[in-house]
Amino acid sequence: MSMNDRDDVRLDVEMEEVEKLSGIYNDKDLVEQEFYPTYGAFNDGSDMPKPEWVEVNQQSDSVFFNDGKRRIDFVLAYEDEDMKEYEKRYHFQRKKMKREHYEASLIKMGLELEAARSVVEEKLVFVKVHTPWDVLCTYAEVMHLQMPIQINDLKSRTSTFNCFTKIFSPSEDIIHPETEYFTAPFEKDRINHFLIEDQETFFNPSTRSRIANYILSRANYEMTDKVRKFGINKLLDTGVYKAAFPLHDCRFNVKSEDLKCPNERYLLYREWAHPRSFYKLQPLDLIRKYYGEKVGIYFAWLGFYTKMLVVAAFFGLCCFIYGYKTRDTNTWSIEVCDPEVGGRIIMCPQCDRECTYWKLNSTCESTKKLSIFDHYGTLVFAVLMSIWVTIFLEFWKRHQAELNYEWDTAEFLEQEELPRPEYEAKCKYEKINPVTKEKELVPHRTCEKCLRVSCGVGTVLFWIVLIVASVVGIIVYRLSVFFVFAAKMQHDLKELEPLKEYLTPQMATSVTASIISFIIIMILNMVYEKVAIMITDFELPRTQTDYENSLTLKMFLFQFVNYYSSCFYIAFFKGKIVGYPKSPVYWLGKYRNEECDPSGCLVELTTQLTIVMGGKAIWNNIQEVLLPWIKNIIGRYKAGKPAERQIPRWEQDYELQSLGKLGLFYEYLEMVIQFGFVTLFVASFPLAPLLALLNNLFEIRVDAWKLTTQYRRVVPEKAQDIGAWQPILQGIAILAVVTNAMIIAFTSDMIPRLVYYWSLSVEPYTDQYSPTNPDNMNNTMKGYINSTLSVFNISDFSDRSKPNKLPMWFNNETDTTCRYRDFRYPPGHPHEYMLSIYYWHVIAAKLAFIIVVEHIVYFTKFLLEYLIPDVPATVKEQIKRESYLTQKKLHETNLKLVRKRVGSMANKLIKDNEIPFELITPK
């Protein structure tokens, strides 16, 4: 036999093996879904295939069927209706019928089921699901799973920091490095080209669970009036099943005795989730392997964000230390605290009737506190943070590109993502696909889709208006209680004289309003969360990615207004339109518009940020740690433990909490809101990055601990990136440049100080605002406090605003004027109490500052985005290498086989007719 004949025989044998492997699950079946059973396919209940019932063995940590060979890929749990009370059985018979037909559908689709009763609660039944090799191969092709074809032969370039990072990396003796492969989309027809060393390990447990979940989500349980009802999610929602989950491979704190068990959960707990591993880097490859790409990329992003916060926290801490060291040495702070300067300046009352005159040096401590945050170093830090956020986002794109390649998600396209079962169940209208030009089913027509989206947009706008209304309510609270604090605190704090310097009416109003605002934020969050989910369900997005993106946008818009509205009010509106003592501005004709703290609104903004940011972190950690832990303890206490038998693996996991349909959505939302606090208002609170860093170091381990110990194993999902959160982060980064520039310009006193410093010796400011020493013509900050305070004649007070009581130190004969924060002409001037030319110079300087800083920072941002490539060169090389191998191994091999089969014919044609070989070979 010739070599060509031997190759032909070998090829025929291989093709027969592949056809046997395919079985009944051919492409035609997949397209037409003819092998999907329907409710009406089983005429007699006795003929329906049913799970095999077994007794629970003593192998409590086993993840296999009782035969010890077939792996458990998924577990379903339900309560046996026959074990219920007699009068309730009839009510549950329909649920039982749905479940029986659903399980029959699963068996018809090729899954193998094994049922066993609970060892704790007799009426509870667990159905274990095993996916055979044939079914795995079929659905691996349907789901476009990337499988290995060859070991990666490109050497990865070692970083110069490897020696340093190795100290913090998990031990390679405990968590072995994952072997890197070149991969390609799985195809059953070319199964021999894939690197299959062992059928049991070719599809890892995570992939097996993902395939099993795909089948469970599409198996029928009822067919009525030609309406196909299917999917495990619907059965869970209606109570047919109580739970559906993949198994953990072992207990988190004890190694499994089964030699086949890789003990990945135990390794993750020991090297990742355990408190003593807080300093170690995350084992991302093992996280991805055990929980899937979606969970892996979240922890990759969180870890990268936390590492980048180290740089921001360092600069923020330096900025804070500089302000703290210079708080007693800057000129304006010294002048306020000086008895000869601030002690002789009488300030006008800040509210009607109840407020009285006060001396400027009473705000000495609050002015020093302001100096910690409001100095020239803050300007430098705000600019550095604007550049930092750009570098963070650009380098994250590079790191994300590396993960995409390593985790085989680089070629994950939107059209490859399969529709949600809820979407498929509603499909009843035909539509021409604009890409394929073929008919496809959709759940609604164009007009109905527009109506659904419009309802969603309208609901979101309504809730945003509701938040704005709550903010207005908080403002009214501020205006009303300020008068109460101003009247009461003067008398109630006589015995606590040291506190009077710190606990001012403005500070008491700000703190209580911040606490009330935080409580309202939390209440609105809980209500709106349910509303947003209902709206998104009503819109009926096609894929899970579309669903999460739609929900993400709704939730973030709401959270953005909810969390940041009070901060925006304090930063840009409070104290900006207050008038002057003779003609103050009133809200609703009743409430006098509140002024800033005597030391400025920046301190109040810092207080608001500290309360909301700190309170949010504490509340979230309580929810994430205590609630699951307490629920699990209560569940174990109710269930009890049988003394004579061991609890099997699936029942141990059943007692854990479910992560929920949205998975890590709330974790992302929490971190993105924190990112907004760190970037949008960092000019007022340089310690925000440091607090975020400390919180995230704790957050990573808390998330790891609860995911590993308190929750059932999540269904592995594929994800290419962090989804809609990426453009949201970019939008926050762009907005942060504007907000920080405006905080420095309008909330802090930095620009008025600079204007005063550089224009001190220039007419007309020399005579009007310079110190009394005429020889002092050098640029100096001396006299700045006096320049920011306008003069008001006490006799010009209206009866509505005139104070009821006068302080003991007030002299009616000599004290005829008071001062207030503004730039207005003094009494007796031709333009009395009108805004002075100095005011307009300061406004012009503020606007010029915003424009110049924005243009410089934006130019730097766009330059960095252009210079930093999104995909590293090494990743591009590996992608090209993988594409070449895929083309060569999967496609060119078939061409060679075709050439061998027609070789003799081609040679004869070439020899007899002199036809070029290229014309008869397929391209």
pLDDT of residue 544 exceeding 80: no
Q: Of 598, 601, 594, 596, nearest to 363 (Cα)?
A: 598
Higher pLDDT: 232 or 760? It is 232
Give residue-wise pLDDT tens across range 250-281: 888 888 877 778 889 999 999 898 888 888 88
User: Three-class SS of residue 226?
Assistant: coil
Per-residue DSSP letters for 456-506?
A: HHHHHHHHHHHHHHHHHHHHHHHHHHHHHHHHHHHHHTSS-GGGGGT--HH
Rounded Cα distance between 727 and 446, Å, is: 27
The angle formed by the CA atoms of residues 98, 99 and 105, to the nearest 5 degrees, is 90
Mean pLDDT rounded to a whole number for the chain: 78
The candidate with the shortest Cα–Cα distance to 821, out of 370, 146, 236, 241, is 370
Centroid of chain to Cα 261: 33
DSSP code of 211? H
Mean pLDDT of 362-375: 84
Contacts of 795 by beta carbon, 8 Å cutoff, 6+ apart: 816
Q: What is the pLDDT of residues 310-320, one digit of tens each?
A: 999 999 999 99
Distance CA 634, CA 657 (A): 11
Confidence grade of residue 720 (pLDDT, cut at 50, 70, 90): confident
Tokens 């009285």 identify what position? 356
Question: How far is CA 228 from each of CA 107, 213, 220, 718, rounded to the nearest angstrom?
Answer: 18, 19, 7, 27
| pLDDT tens, position by position, 832-848 | 999 998 899 999 999 99
Most confident of 693-707, 777-791, 797-811: 693-707
pLDDT in tens, 278-315: 888 899 999 999 998 899 999 999 999 999 999 999 99
Q: Is 199 helix (H, G, I), strand (E, B) or coil?
A: helix
CB atoms within 10 A of CB 30: 15
Instruction: Dump pLDDT digits (tens) for 379-389.
Output: 889 889 988 99
Q: Greater confidence, 15 or 345?
A: 345
- In tens, the pLDDT along 546-583 reads 888 888 888 888 888 878 887 888 888 887 888 888 88
Q: Report yes or no: 427 and 236 within 8 Å, Cβ to Cβ.
A: no
pLDDT value at 372 more than 90: no
pLDDT tens digits along 19-47: 333 333 333 333 333 333 333 344 444 46
Q: Rounded to 5 degrees, what are φ and ψ at 18?
A: -65, -40
Instruction: For residue 110, give the nearest of 170, 221, 36, 197 by alpha carbon.
Output: 36
Q: Name which of 414, 224, 104, 273 is nearest 710 in CA terms.
A: 273
Residues 6+ apart with CB under 8 A from 681: 567, 571, 605, 609, 688, 739, 740, 743
Structure tokens belonging to residue 2: 């010739």
CB-based burial, 737-763: b 16+ in 10 Å, e otherwise: bbbbbbbbbbbbbbbbbbbbeebbeee
pLDDT of residue 922: 47
What percentage of the chain's residues is helix, strand, coil (to nearest 5)?
60, 10, 35
Amino acid at 386: S
Q: How confident is the model at residue 760 (pLDDT cuts 50, 70, 90)?
A: low
Q: Is 638 helix (H, G, I), strand (E, B) or coil?
A: helix
What is the reported pLDDT for 57?
78
User: Mean per-residue pLDDT for 236-241?
Assistant: 86
**How confident is the model over 148-176, as pLDDT tens digits?**
888 877 666 555 555 666 677 777 778 87
Q: Give residue 115's pLDDT.
A: 92
Given this model, what pLDDT does residue 496 score? 45
Residue 49, preceding peptide bond in cis (omega within 30° of 0): no
**3-state SS string for 382-444:** HHHHHHHHHHHHHHHHHHHHHHHHHCCCCCCCHHHCCCCHHHHHHCCEEEECCCCCCEEEECC
Of the ranges 138-147, 495-504, 580-589, which is most confident? 138-147
What is d(CA 592, CA 578) in angstroms, rounded to the nearest whole number?
A: 8
Which is it for strands 124-130 and 181-185: parallel, antiparallel or unpaired? unpaired
Contact, 775 vs 865, CB < 8 A?
no
Mean pLDDT value across residues 735-749 = 89
Query: Which pLDDT score, from 0 to 100, does residue 90 have?
Result: 60
Kindly report the pTM of this predicted structure: 0.81
Q: Per the structure block, which two tokens stand in for 678?
A: 């760190």
Separation in Å, CA 216 to CA 167, 483, 632, 863: 44, 64, 27, 49
* pLDDT of amino acid 640: 59
State which amino acid sits at residue 300. Answer: A
Dihedral sign, CA of 477, 483, 484, 485?
positive
Please give the pLDDT value at position 137.
92
**Residue 675: per-residue pLDDT:** 93
360: number of Cβ within 10 Å: 23
Run of H or E including 113:
strand 112-117
| In the block, residue with structure tokens 């209560």 | 634
Q: Name the nearest CA neighbour of 311 among 199, 387, 365, 375.
A: 387
* Contact partners, residue 419, CB within 8 Å, separation at least 6: 542, 543
Q: What is the pLDDT of residues 503-537, one digit of tens each?
A: 666 667 777 777 887 788 778 877 877 888 888 88
Q: What is the 3-state secondary structure (H, E, C) of 177-192?
A: CCCCEEEEECCHHHHH
DSSP secondary structure string for all residues of 8-22: HHHHHHHHHHHHHHH
Question: If you write DSSP's letter for every residue of 705-723 in order, what string do you get?
Answer: HIIIIIBPPPPP---SS-T
